[in-house]
Structure 1
Amino acid sequence: MEQRKYKTKQEVLIRGQEAVGKTLGEIDKTGRIATGKGAIGTVVEESWFGYKPNSKPAPDFEEAGVELKVTPYRRTPRGIQAKERLVCDMLNYEEEYGKTFATSAFWTKCACMLLMSYEHKDGVPKVDFTIDKAVLFQFPDEDLEVIRNDWKILMDKIKAGQAHLISEGDTMYLAACPKGRNSQDTRSQPFSPIPAMKRAYSLKSSYMTQILRRYIFGDEPCEKIIKDPAALRTTSFEDWFSAKVRPYVGMSRTELKARLGVETNAKNLNELLVAAMLGVKGHLSNTEEFQKAGIQLKTIAIEPNGSIKESMSFPVMNFCAMMNETWEESALYDLLAPTKFLFIIFQKSKDGECYFQRVKFWNIPAEDLEEVHRVWQRTVDTLREGVHIWKDASGRNRNNLPKASESRVAHVRPHGRDSTDTAPLPTGGSMTKQCFWLNNSYVAKQIGKE
């Protein structure tokens, strides 16, 4: 095949825009998409751009300095959602740590991208998906400061001999996603004899959702926490955030409400108080930084004796869907592995008042995620074999799903409104809706770690 040359970014963009309105079936000259054996991006590159894919450490259109990325999205009640993370390039532990951000494999490849989007619809053949947008994308300054820090976090782990402990939740926008067949598919790392899971640079699905909404579909921008990108040139987002709320540590909720002018007693009062500390008018969860990073908020109330009463719950599990998932494809992995949490921590006093103690950004450590994997696998195995349900002496239903006493990290227990709130089982019949929980004792230990 004669390779077509693209010398400028504009030439690449024009050719990309000529594909808008065409189905993947119309674009594909190889027939691979119809058979399910072709990666969509590779086929578009080859069939539409007349460019033979290669594995060179350079953008697809090297002379123009543009990388091609074909990215799917879904339309949901909450708006446009990226269907998946955007995988950029393999992370070579043996080489990357010796580079600068500017010479890294990620930046060399993806400093400028042609993003071509299509809507994914369940049940619709791939050949019928239609390219609907094609835009040139370069990272805005405020994102670039965060991404540079994300890259540094990954490099610091490699240099510390901890490549095997890298997790997607370590970072905000730029992540290192699993790229092997499973956790046993590993490669060497330079500063430790422990093999590390194969990983690739990727942009988180939460980040891609915001890029699609803002730069492809033209949505209005969300409120920013940090108004000046230069603020992150000498510190990380997390450190900046923590420093801003530190002057309020030790104040009671009553004092904070008066000082910050917050008049509500809404259920999310603690979030609103922290937002006010930062000068944010709306909800923290709706800010640009939290939306792009997919940060989840959790309020933690520490009892007067230092304990935490409540375990941390995740959404109700779909028993039948779990039978067809691998761990890395599971709903639980997707909720936990790439997610960074913001714990808003208040200390209760004996008189019932709550005092602001601090905030903590947290993501589950790799070794603890593996323990959750074990609990998840035992749950799947039990569901597949058939859950045993019986009544105890007090007449309450019991089952043999993993209990808090079996794991230091996680367990399974009901999350239904009551015993009549049930879901179907894969072996027939039904049982009270269940969900995974992080043990309250585990959460307490994580809160205590600096």
Structure 2
Amino acid sequence: MKHSPLKTPEQLLLRSQNIAGLTLGQLAAQLKVTIPADLRRDKGWVGQLIELALGAEAGSKALPDFPALGIELKTLPIDQNGKPLESTYVCVAPLTGITSQSWQQSWICQKLQHVLWVPILAERQIPLPERVIGSAFLWQPSAAEQQALQQDWEELMELITLGGIDKIRGAHGKVLQLRPKAADSNALTAAIGASGEPIQTLPRGFYLKASFTAAILCRHFNLATPT
């Protein structure tokens, strides 16, 4: 599918509205994309399908999905009550060479400055082709959200810098968490050990906690705040 270049966020929203209400199967048929049997080996398939439908241009480059607009695309699987089903992957976390990096310089900060959220009704009992694309919306972090993200990021980066990578668990952080991000246990990367020595460990990724994205959804759609 050929798309004309997007010039404004409003054009992106309009393009998003055109696919709202479609099932993933209907959209895949329109785009002539093969639907995988399940997402166990194709975890990024839904996001890639939406990227294709909306004309995202970044691909695997270290750029926002819509570089000209500075907007990142994130799909968000939800249940029928609008509650996120899982945490949201943002980007790979750097594990070395980070002592002088600030939050504002970080890749995660840049990716979260302007996000197009695309909710997907994706309860596990719904077959993949029948899952429904919801109403997309644009989000920029409020001052309070920015502060919460920065605080978690700084605490996690300090633990990594001081050799505490293996002590970090998903419970760390109020809105942001650090979790292993690798296709298999053999995909190791360099990090800092407890005594400052070089070690090999699983790559880690930054994830937004489901409670954080739930609050974003509630505020946008005027839903009751989750408990």
TM bracket (short chain):
0.7 to 0.9
Q: Deviations over 1:96-125 (max 9, x none)?
A: 443211121101112111001121233322
Q: Is residue 219 of structure 1 aligned with residue 223 of structure 2? A: yes
Evaluate the alpha carbon distance shift between residue 212 and residue 59 of structure 1 in structure 2; reply closer, same or farther with a 3 A threshold.
same
Aligned equivalents of 2:222, 2:98: Cα separation in 1: 35
Residues 15-414 of structure 1 mapped to structure 2, 5 A cutoff:
15-28=15-28, 29-36=31-38, 37=42, 39-46=45-52, 48-52=53-57, 54-75=59-80, 79-181=81-183, 185-190=187-192, 191-215=196-220, 217-221=221-225, 286=227
Structure 1 segments (4+ residues) deviating >6 Å = none
Between Structure 1 and Structure 2, which shows a larger proportion of strand residues? Answer: 1
Aligned equivalents of 2:170, 2:119: Cα separation in 1: 24
Q: Secondary structure at the match of 2:223?
A: coil
Q: Deviations over 1:249-268 (max 9, x none)?
A: xxxxxxxxxxxxxxxxxxxx
Q: Secondary structure at the match of 2:146?
A: helix
Aligned equivalents of 1:81, 1:144: Cα separation in 2: 22
Between Structure 1 and Structure 2, which shows a larger proportion of helix residues? Answer: 1
Identity of aligned residues (%): 25
Could you tell me which residue of structure 1 aligns to residue 8 of structure 2? Answer: 8
Could you tell me which residue of structure 2 aligns to residue 282 of structure 1? Answer: none
Which has more radius of gyration? Answer: 1
Shift of 1:85: 0.6
TM-score normalised by length of structure 2:
0.85
Q: Deviations over 1:11-52 (max 9, x none)?
A: 222211221111112222242335444610111101x12335
Q: Secondary structure at the match of 1:58?
A: coil
Aligned equivalents of 1:94, 1:24: Cα separation in 2: 39
Structure 1 gap segments, 5+ residues each: 223-285, 287-450
Aligned equivalents of 1:12, 1:80: Cα separation in 2: 22
Could you tell me which residue of structure 2 aligns to residue 346 of structure 1? Answer: none
Evaluate the alpha carbon distance shift between residue 139 and residue 34 of structure 1 in structure 2; reply closer, same or farther with a 3 A threshold.
same
Shift of 1:164: 2.8
